[in-house]
Structure 1
Amino acid sequence: MKASDSDKVSDCGDGVDVLGKMEDSSASTAELSERMGLLDYMKVMMFITIAERVVPVSDERVQVSDENFDGVEVIVYQPTQQEESGELRRAIIYLHGGGWCLGSSRMGPYDLLARHMVTELNAVIVSVEYRLAPAYHFPAQFEDVYHVVKYFLHVDVLKSYHINPERIAVSGDSAGGNLAAAVAQQLQKDPKQPIQLKAQALIYPVLQALDLNTPSYQQNQHMPILPRTLMVRFWSEYFTSDKSFLRAMMANRHNNHESAALLKFVNWSSYLPDSYRQTYNYSAPPVVTGKSSVHPVGPHHLLADPRASPLLVPDTTLRLLPKAYVLTCEYDVLRDDGLMYVTRLRNAGVDVTHEHYPGGFHGALMFITWPTDFDIGHRMVDNFVSWLKQNL
C-alpha cells in the first residue's frame, strides 16, 4: 500500500497500514509457494481464513444449528425465545465473501454479524457454505446458493422457522454480494417461484468481469485488503485454473466478441458520476480473437453470463428486482461496480439506498473483532442492520 493512500483512509489510521503489510506478506508467501510447486496460491491464502474460524454455538439469545438445504450445508441462526405475540419473523439469507475461493460462514466476524442480526431484527439468518474455487469453478457457487434459496422459500420450510414469506432478503459482501445480486435476478425469472424476495442488500459487491481497469481498479490497485492483482486472480480462478487466462485478465485483454457486445452495460463514462471518473478517460477493453500469448482459448462464454456478472443484464430484467441496499467504499477496486449498478437500478425504477463510505476500504465490515476492531466496521454493521430494520 502506498503511504499517500494510507493518509487518505482517515477512518482506520495506522490499522490499514498493518493490514497492507499482512496482505503483502501473505500474497508473497502464496506466490512463492506456487512458483516452487509446493501449494497452489489459493490454498496458501485459505490458511488466513481458516485461522479466523470459530465454532458457532447456541447461547441464551441465539439458537445455532448446522442444516442441509437441498444438499448444501448451511448454518441457521434464530432467536432462542419465541415471540409471545406469535408474530412471524424476518429472514436473511447471507452469503460470505472471499472471491469465491476463500472464506466461510464460520469465520468469527460472520458469526458475530449473524448473531447481531438475529437479536436486533428478531430474524432467522441462513448462512450458506457454498463450494469454493479452485476445486469447484463457476457456476457451482451460484448453483449452491440458488438451491438453498429455492429450498428455503418453500411454504413448509418457512412455516417451520416461523418466517413471514413477505419479509425475506438475500444479502452478502464482496463475492457474496455478487451471488446475492445474481440470485435475486434469476429468482425473478422463475415463473414457478411463488414466493419472492422483498429486498437485496449488497455490500461492496463485485458485479462484472469485462472491464478490470475501471477508475476504481486503477486508483486502488495497491490498496489492501483487495489489490487489483488479487481480485483478478479471484475472477480467473472462479472461471478456470488455466494460468494463461489469468494472464489475459491481468492485461485486461480477455474479452471476445460475445462479451464485448455487453460492454455497453459496463461503460463507466455513462454510469459513473463525474466525481468518480476524475481524470480517467474511458477506453473500452480491446477485443482479441484466436490464440495469442495474452489471449488463449478460454472460458470466454462465461464472461457474458449474468449469473457471474449481474451488471450485464438488460433494463427489462432490472425493473423486476426488489428494493436494494448497496454499500460502496472509496478505497476499493470494486467501488465502480457498485456505483454503476446503483445507477442502472435507479434508471430502471428500482428503489435503491446507496451508502458510500469516503474513508472506507474493501472488507471493512469484517474488522469488528479484536485485534482489528475498527470503528468504520461497526458503523457499517449498524447502518446495514438499520436499513434492514426499516425495509424488511
Structure 2
Amino acid sequence: MGTKTVLLLLVGVLGAYYVYTPIPDSFEEPWRFMWMATQIKTVTNLAVFAEQLGISHFMDIGMLYMSSQEVPPTSDENVTVMETTFNNVLVRVYIPNRKSEALRRGLFYIHGGGWCLGSAAWFNTDILSRRTANRLDAVVISTNYRLAPKYHFPIQFEDVYNSLKWFLRQDILEKYGVDPKRIGISGDSAGGNLAAAVSQQVINDPDVKIKLKTQSLIYPALQTLDMNLPSFQENSHFPTLPKSLMVRFWSEYFTTDRTLEEAMFFNQHVPEKSSHLFQFVNWSSLLPENFKKGHFYNSPTHGSSELANKYPGFIDVRAAPLLSDDSKLHGLPLTYVITCQYDVLRDDGIMYVSRLQNAGVRVTHNHIEDGFHGALSYYGFKIAYRIEDQYLSWLSKNL
C-alpha cells in the first residue's frame, strides 16, 4: 500500500470520526441531523480556536455565522412585513394581507440564541413569524433585544419588557387591528426564558391594563441553580446544545468573568444564604418518575458568596423564572410548553409544568420524544414541521 493511499485512508477515517455523531434510533433523518451537527461542531471549534488565539470573543464567531443567515423585512403575497421600534426596541411586524372584518389575534415573539445570538431577522425566526401570521390570521410582533456579551442582564429582560408594554398599549393595538383580549406571548430557548420572565412581571404591573391570554414556551431555559439535572447528565455532550455551551450562555448573560462559568459548570456557584431557592428546582419532587430513572438527587454543593454578590442576576427571578414562588405563578395565563427528550433544558420545562400545575395554572405540555434542542428552527427537517404544526394548532385553538 503506497504512502498516498495510507494518507487518504487516514484522512478518510479522521473525517468520518469528525462527522460521526451517535444518534438515537428514534431519529427519522439521522444523516441530515449528523450533517447539521457537524456544522455546529465546526462553528463551535472555530470560535474556541479564535478565542484561544486572542483573535475574537467566542460569541463573535457565532454572531458572524448567524448574521450571514439574516434576511431583510420583505413582504410576500400572504404577509406584509415591516420594521419599526417599540419604545426604542427594534421589532418586525407581520400583518396578514387578507381582509378581516374582525380584530385579529396578536402574538409577541421572542427569538432564542442564548441571550448572545440571533435576531428577529434570522432566517428561521422570520419563516416562523410569517407562517404564524398567515396560518392564524394574526399580527405577529417579533422583537429584538440587545445581546451579550456587550450587554448583560437585566438589559435583555428590560428591552423585551419595554417592547411588550408598548405593544400592549390600547392605541398601538388599535393601530395594528389587534384584539386586546386575544394576545399571546411566545419564545424559544432564551426567548422562552424571556417570555416566561416578562409574563410573570406583567401580571402585577399596574401600568399594564391589557393582560396576556396565553404564553407558549418552546424548550425554555428557566433556572440557573442546578446544572446537574438528569437532562444535563443525559445530554451533556449532545451536539445541538451541550452542557458546556449552555453554561457558557448562562454565564455570558451575567458577565464576561469566566470564573462564574467554571463555578456553574461544577454546580458550585450558589451561596449557602440562597440555599432556600433550591426548593423551586428540586427535580426529585418536580420531575415525573420516568424522567428520574437511574438518577439520584444529591444535596447541592454551596459556593462562596463572592460570585452572587458580584453577579446577583443568576439568583434573580427575572433571569430564572423557576425561582418564582407559587403565589406569583398563580395568575399566569393559559400555558403551552414544548420540551425535547434530547435537550439539556428538558427538565427546566418539565419542572415548570409541574410548578404551574401546582399553582393552578392550566398547562398543555407537549413532550417531543425524538426531539432535540432547536428542532423547531431547523426547517427542512420533518420534525420541525411536525412541532410547528402542533404549536400552531394549539395557538389556533387557544389564542
TM-score clears 0.5: yes
What whole-Å deviation, never above 9, does each CA across 1:275-333 have from its counterpart, x for those lacking one?
A: 10111111132112256xxxx57644212211100001011011110000000000000
The whole-number CA distance in structure 1 between the counterparts of 2:308 and 2:335 is 37
Kept in 2, the 8 Å contact 1:259–1:301? The answer is: no
Compared with structure 1, are the counterparts of its residues 230 and 156 closer, same or farther at alpha carbon in structure 2 (3 Å cutoff)?
same
In the TM superposition, what is the alpha-carbon distance from 1:16 to its structure 2 partner?
A: 2.0
In the TM superposition, what is the alpha-carbon distance from 1:170 to its structure 2 partner?
A: 0.5
Q: Which residue of 2 aligns with 1:139?
A: 154
Q: Which residue of 2 aligns with 1:375?
A: 382
**Partner residue of 2:41 out of 17, 21, 24:** 24
Q: Residue 355 in 1 paired to residue 366 in 2?
A: yes
Q: Residue 121 in 1 paired to residue 136 in 2?
A: yes
Q: Which residue of 2 aligns with 1:250?
A: 265
AA at the equivalent of 1:332: D
When the two structures are aligned, how many residues end up with a matched partner?
382
Q: Answer with 123-132 or 275-284: which moved more.
A: 275-284
Q: Residue 342 in 1 paired to residue 353 in 2?
A: yes
Kept in 2, the 8 Å contact 1:181–1:202? The answer is: yes
Q: Where do residues 134-213 of structure 1 align in structure 2 (5 Å cutoff)?
A: 134-213=149-228
Q: Which residue of 2 aligns with 1:40?
A: 57
Q: Residue 74 in 1 paired to residue 85 in 2?
A: no
What whole-Å deviation, never above 9, does each CA across 1:91-116 have from its counterpart, x for those lacking one?
A: 00000000000011111111111111
Kept in 2, the 8 Å contact 1:263–1:284? The answer is: no
Q: Which runs of 5+ in 1 are unaligned?
A: none
Q: Which residue of 1 aligns with 2:10?
A: none
The whole-number CA distance in structure 2 between the counterparts of 1:367 and 1:302 is 31
In the TM superposition, what is the alpha-carbon distance from 1:138 to its structure 2 partner?
A: 0.4
Q: Residue 98 in 1 paired to residue 113 in 2?
A: yes
Compared with structure 1, are the counterparts of its residues 10 and 39 closer, same or farther at alpha carbon in structure 2 (3 Å cutoff)?
same
Q: Which residue of 1 aligns with 2:28?
A: 11
The whole-number CA distance in structure 1 between the counterparts of 2:42 and 2:19 is 15
Q: Which residue of 1 aligns with 2:7?
A: none
Q: Which residue of 2 aligns with 1:331?
A: 342
Q: Residue 63 in 1 paired to residue 80 in 2?
A: yes
Higher-RCO chain (CA-CA 8 Å, sequence separation at least 6): 1
Kept in 1, the 8 Å contact 2:116–2:253? The answer is: yes
**Partner residue of 1:301 out of 295, 298, 312:** 312
In the TM superposition, what is the alpha-carbon distance from 1:50 to its structure 2 partner?
A: 1.3
The whole-number CA distance in structure 1 between the counterparts of 2:19 and 2:362 is 37
Q: Residue 108 in 1 paired to residue 123 in 2?
A: yes
AA at the equivalent of 1:112: I
Kept in 1, the 8 Å contact 2:83–2:91? The answer is: yes
The whole-number CA distance in structure 1 between the counterparts of 2:28 and 2:368 is 10
**Segments of 4+ moved more than 6 angstroms:** 1-4
Classify the secondary structure of the residue corresponding to 1:15. Answer: helix
What whole-Å deviation, never above 9, does each CA across 1:201-253 have from its counterpart, x for those lacking one?
A: 00000000100110000100111211110000000000000011111112111
Compared with structure 1, are the counterparts of its residues 382 and 297 closer, same or farther at alpha carbon in structure 2 (3 Å cutoff)?
closer
Kept in 1, the 8 Å contact 2:73–2:83? The answer is: no
In the TM superposition, what is the alpha-carbon distance from 1:270 to its structure 2 partner?
A: 0.4
Kept in 2, the 8 Å contact 1:9–1:360? The answer is: no
In the TM superposition, what is the alpha-carbon distance from 1:51 to its structure 2 partner?
A: 2.0
AA at the equivalent of 2:67: I
Compared with structure 1, are the counterparts of its residues 326 and 31 closer, same or farther at alpha carbon in structure 2 (3 Å cutoff)?
same
Compared with structure 1, are the counterparts of its residues 16 and 284 closer, same or farther at alpha carbon in structure 2 (3 Å cutoff)?
farther
The whole-number CA distance in structure 1 between the counterparts of 2:20 and 2:49 is 25
Q: Where do residues 191-340 of structure 1 align in structure 2 (5 Å cutoff)?
A: 191-289=206-304, 299-340=310-351
Compared with structure 1, are the counterparts of its residues 299 and 384 closer, same or farther at alpha carbon in structure 2 (3 Å cutoff)?
farther
Kept in 1, the 8 Å contact 2:47–2:59? The answer is: yes
AA at the equivalent of 1:317: K
AA at the equivalent of 2:91: V
AA at the equivalent of 1:58: S
Kept in 2, the 8 Å contact 1:225–1:362? The answer is: yes
Kept in 2, the 8 Å contact 1:8–1:359? The answer is: no
Kept in 1, the 8 Å contact 2:21–2:37? The answer is: no
The whole-number CA distance in structure 1 between the counterparts of 2:173 and 2:142 is 15
The whole-number CA distance in structure 2 between the counterparts of 1:148 and 1:284 is 40
The whole-number CA distance in structure 1 between the counterparts of 2:234 and 2:197 is 27
**Normalization by structure 2: what TM-score?**
0.93
Q: Which has the larger radius of gyration?
A: 2
AA at the equivalent of 2:221: V
In the TM superposition, what is the alpha-carbon distance from 1:3 to its structure 2 partner?
A: 6.8
The whole-number CA distance in structure 1 between the counterparts of 2:309 and 2:61 is 25
Kept in 1, the 8 Å contact 2:21–2:34? The answer is: no
Q: Where do residues 43-54 of structure 1 align in structure 2 (5 Å cutoff)?
A: 43-54=60-71
**Normalization by structure 1: what TM-score?**
0.94
Kept in 1, the 8 Å contact 2:271–2:308? The answer is: no
Kept in 1, the 8 Å contact 2:197–2:317? The answer is: yes
